[in-house]
A = this chain, B = another copy of it.
């Protein structure tokens, strides 16, 4: 089969690799129909994360079950499924507590040992627990599938930021970052009842989308000026801050605009973010820091329900589209910020 392989920073290639196949009785092999390129893929693409030549890429994908192992009970060949960006056994303490990303037998797609989603097929461990079947009526509805695809990662991740920060009816929310996760965080905050949603970003088209998603205010100033403007517009800070970038400056801004007694929900993969932690301010004003890698598996059912009901549509964050051969070009486009997020249609 063909799949995307990391070679070096700035160099990913679509190559022939060994076919995905069943290894354990709980596995399924799934033919990928849709995948994405993630903002976090840029960390290895830019050389910030140390990746090795030969590692497989892509952790956001959906597809059709091709084959199941003897222990698989709930899925069969032909089922259309969505995968969260990590797999998990569904049985351990952490899975039962809804922290599937800490599953004792779990892992992430791609990397050293697992198939990646940016390829023709994936071996999915713990298929019953990991994959979520889509209802039959979704099957050939391309528009609907596009709305569902962000539930693999960015929509669930934005939702996790909002949940971690305690967003609820009437909340005042500040969202750091206008990337796909930040935009989904706006949607999530709106869905949870936030009254005021201030997005921090600098990209015109993305900010326009954020307004469409429910953002009430935009702040484009950075660093101290951004913090000052955020505090001024909220008379002292936002109760809930959703950190959706993961850099030092973004984390510093998040803590800076948090209201005393408030919470920063952080989901940006923290590259350098620890240096942005103003623990003095956090301590002085009882600002909580919650979040982390999103247990997307926990959130897919409730978010899917709303997408199917027509009340939630994160599809517009996918403003680029390529086929499998177009994946390297998709990385380059996202790296150059000419698109927000690329869908890979196989």
Is there contact, CB below 8 Å, between A97 and B266? no
Q: Does A320 contact B (CB under 8 A)?
A: no
Kindly state the separation between the CA atoms of A295 and B286 in the bound complex, as whole angstroms: 9
Q: Select A266's contact among B101, B273, B274, B283, beta carbons within 8 Å.
A: B283
- Chain B residues contacting A280 (CB-CB under 8 Å) are 270, 274
**A265, closest chain B residue (CB):** B288
Q: Does A284 contact B (CB under 8 A)?
A: yes
- Chain B residues contacting A285 (CB-CB under 8 Å) are 99, 101-102, 292
Kindly state the separation between the CA atoms of A288 and B287 in the bound complex, as whole angstroms: 11
- Chain B nearest Cβ from A250, distance in angstroms: 13
Q: Does A289 contact B (CB under 8 A)?
A: yes
Kindly state the separation between the CA atoms of A291 and B279 in the bound complex, as whole angstroms: 11
**A276, closest chain B residue (CB):** B279
**How many chain A residues have a CB neighbour from B under 8 Å?**
32
Copies of this chain, count:
2
Is there contact, CB below 8 Å, between A279 and B274? yes
Is there contact, CB below 8 Å, between A270 and B293? no
**A268, closest chain B residue (CB):** B283
A249-278 vs B, CB cutoff 8 Å, 1 = contact: the mask equals: 000000000001100001001100110010
Among A273, A274, A279, A288, the one with the most B-chain Cβ atoms within 10 Å of its Cβ is A279
Q: Does A51 contact B (CB under 8 A)?
A: no
Kindly state the separation between the CA atoms of A286 and B288 in the bound complex, as whole angstroms: 13
- Chain B residues contacting A261 (CB-CB under 8 Å) are 94, 97-99, 102
Q: Does A339 contact B (CB under 8 A)?
A: no
Is there contact, CB below 8 Å, between B292 and A101? no
The interface residues of chain A, by DSSP majority, are classed as: mixed
- Chain B residues contacting A292 (CB-CB under 8 Å) are 282-287
**A251, closest chain B residue (CB):** B279
Among A97, A98, A261, A270, the one with the most B-chain Cβ atoms within 10 Å of its Cβ is A261
- Chain B nearest Cβ from A157, distance in angstroms: 12
Kindly state the separation between the CA atoms of A286 and B293 in the bound complex, as whole angstroms: 7
Is there contact, CB below 8 Å, between A269 and B286? no
Q: Does A21 contact B (CB under 8 A)?
A: no
- Chain B nearest Cβ from A167, distance in angstroms: 15
Q: Given the known A-B contacts A260-B94, A274-B277, are A289 and B286 also in contact in the complex, defined by CB atoms under 8 Å? A: no
Q: Given the known A-B contacts A260-B94, A277-B274, are A269 and B290 also in contact in the complex, defined by CB atoms under 8 Å? A: no
Is there contact, CB below 8 Å, between B293 and A290? no
**A267, closest chain B residue (CB):** B283
**A101, closest chain B residue (CB):** B286
Interface residues of A in 168-225 (CB under 8 A from B): none
A150-164 vs B, CB cutoff 8 Å, 1 = contact: the mask equals: 000000000000001
Q: Select A291's contact among B93, B269, B286, beta carbons within 8 Å.
A: B286
Among A99, A236, A295, the one with the most B-chain Cβ atoms within 10 Å of its Cβ is A99
- Chain B nearest Cβ from A48, distance in angstroms: 13
Kindly state the separation between the CA atoms of A266 and B286 in the bound complex, as whole angstroms: 10
Is there contact, CB below 8 Å, between A279 and B270? yes
Kindly state the separation between the CA atoms of A261 and B266 in the bound complex, as whole angstroms: 14
A-B contact pairs, 15 of them (CB 8 A): A94-B261, A99-B285, A102-B285, A270-B279, A270-B283, A273-B279, A274-B277, A283-B291, A285-B292, A286-B290, A286-B293, A286-B295, A287-B292, A288-B291, A290-B290
